[in-house]
């Protein structure tokens, strides 16, 4: 663990990504404190007001403060990212563990199902499923999670195929340990490193998907603030109010970049081939 932290701290881009992630998380948690205004407060005297002292990110076509809406929107985006990735990771670990440990016909069936899911364009599958459901934050979380577990499954399966042939696994089996004990106590803890990296990178992907769905109007519905639906309002006034698109777009860019930098840094720090 000490070697991991040493490697991670030496990667300045990863440290920068981690600092940004922590700041975004803090802003989301303490949104009622750090937000200068209520996100849905309408003020007709300040409609489409450009960035200034009172409104650093300007206001929208209803006079709502964009900075406040971006801060509150971070709650939605990060919630979707964490919950969706959590669902995908749990499904991926279970299926990958079963596939990698037992092998044979069980492995073939699970892997063919993974191949079928991967052959379907994920975003169009999301659009098709959401079209039959009521657009809501919980439906978005669940659908994204249920359509993004395939990569985790493959990672866990590959790790299980390798780890189950090591000496400590054979020793546990020789001592009479059950399959569940071997899987959860011996193999899984030694297979979590790539899953952790995949989960960090997956948060960025889930945030992008949620923003895209909200931008298309089938994600989080107004007046709830989401980076995607703030962008939707911005495109209608982009010629006269550039700030409506720039600031939520920058929030998405910075967040996704931060998670990618952190994920890459964790991957390099875990890799034993990297020098200390």
**What is the DSSP code (8-state) at residue 49?**
P
Residue 59 pairs in a beta bridge with: 65
Angle separating helix axes 104-119 and 66-102, nearest 10 degrees: 150
Is 130 in contact with 139 (CB distance < 8 Å)? yes
In the block, residue with structure tokens 């300007």: 58
Summarize pLDDT for 13-57 with one digit per residue, the tens.
889 999 999 999 999 899 999 988 888 888 888 888 889 888 899
Summarize pLDDT for 46-85 with one digit per residue, the tens.
888 889 888 899 888 888 999 999 999 888 888 888 999 9
* CA 124/CA 21 separation, integer angstroms: 29
Q: How confident is the model at residue 271 (pLDDT cuts 50, 70, 90)?
A: low
CB burial class (10 A; 0-12, 13-18, 19+) of residue 45? exposed
Residue 65 pairs in a beta bridge with: 59
**pLDDT, position 1:** 60
The encoded tokens of residue 14 equal 């990863």
pTM, two decimals, is: 0.86
Q: Which residues contact 134 (CB under 8 A, 6 or more apart)?
A: none
**pLDDT, position 83:** 92
Of 209, 195, 205, 200, nearest in space to 95 by CA: 195
* CA 197/CA 100 separation, integer angstroms: 19
Summarize pLDDT for 125-172 with one digit per residue, the tens.
777 777 777 777 888 888 888 888 999 999 999 988 888 888 888 888
Q: What are phi and psi of 65, to 5 degrees?
A: -75, 125
* CA 235/CA 239 separation, integer angstroms: 8
Q: Which domains does the chain have, with CATH numbers?
A: 2-41+59-270 (1.10.3720.10)
User: Where in the chain does DSSP place strands (E)?
Assistant: none
Q: Is 179 left (phi over 0), alpha (psi -120 to 50) or beta?
A: alpha
CB atoms within 10 A of CB 53: 5
**pLDDT, position 273:** 53
Of 269, 203, 213, nearest in space to 20 by CA: 203
**pLDDT, position 173:** 83
Residue 65, helix vs strand vs coil: strand
Of 249, 144, 235, 157, nearest in space to 194 by CA: 157
User: How far apart, in Å, are the Cα atoms of 96 and each of 91, 169, 195?
Assistant: 8, 17, 11
Q: How confident is the model at residue 276 (pLDDT cuts 50, 70, 90)?
A: very low
* CA 18/CA 12 separation, integer angstroms: 10
């Amino acid at each position: 663990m000490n070697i991991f932290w040493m490697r991670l701290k030496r990667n300045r881009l990863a440290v920068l990504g981690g600092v940004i992630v922590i700041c975004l998380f803090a802003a989301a948690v303490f949104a009622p404190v750090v937000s200068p205004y209520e996100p849905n407060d309408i003020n007709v005297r300040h409609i489409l007001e450009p960035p200034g002292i009172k409104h650093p990110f300007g206001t929208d076509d209803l006079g709502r403060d964009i900075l406040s809406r971006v801060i509150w929107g971070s709650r939605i985006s990060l919630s979707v990212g964490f919950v969706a990735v959590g669902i995908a990771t749990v499904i991926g670990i279970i299926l990958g563990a079963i596939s990698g440990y037992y092998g044979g016909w069980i492995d073939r069936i699970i892997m063919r199902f993974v191949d079928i899911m991967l052959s379907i364009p994920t975003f169009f599958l999301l659009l098709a499923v959401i079209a039959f459901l009521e657009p809501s934050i919980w439906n978005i979380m669940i659908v994204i999670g249920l359509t993004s577990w395939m990569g985790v499954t493959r990672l866990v399966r590959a790790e299980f195929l390798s780890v189950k042939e090591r000496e400590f696994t054979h020793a546990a089996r020789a001592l009479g340990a059950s399959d569940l004990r071997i899987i959860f106590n011996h193999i899984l803890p030694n297979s979590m490193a790539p899953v952790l990296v995949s989960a960090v990178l997956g948060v960025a992907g889930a945030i992008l998907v949620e923003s895209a769905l909200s931008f298309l109007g089938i994600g989080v519905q107004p007046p709830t603030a989401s980076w995607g639906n703030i962008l939707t309002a911005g495109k209608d006034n982009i010629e006269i109010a550039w700030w409506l698109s720039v600031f939520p777009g920058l929030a998405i860019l910075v967040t996704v970049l931060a998670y990618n930098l952190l994920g890459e840094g964790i991957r390099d720090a875990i890799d034993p081939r990297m020098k200390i």
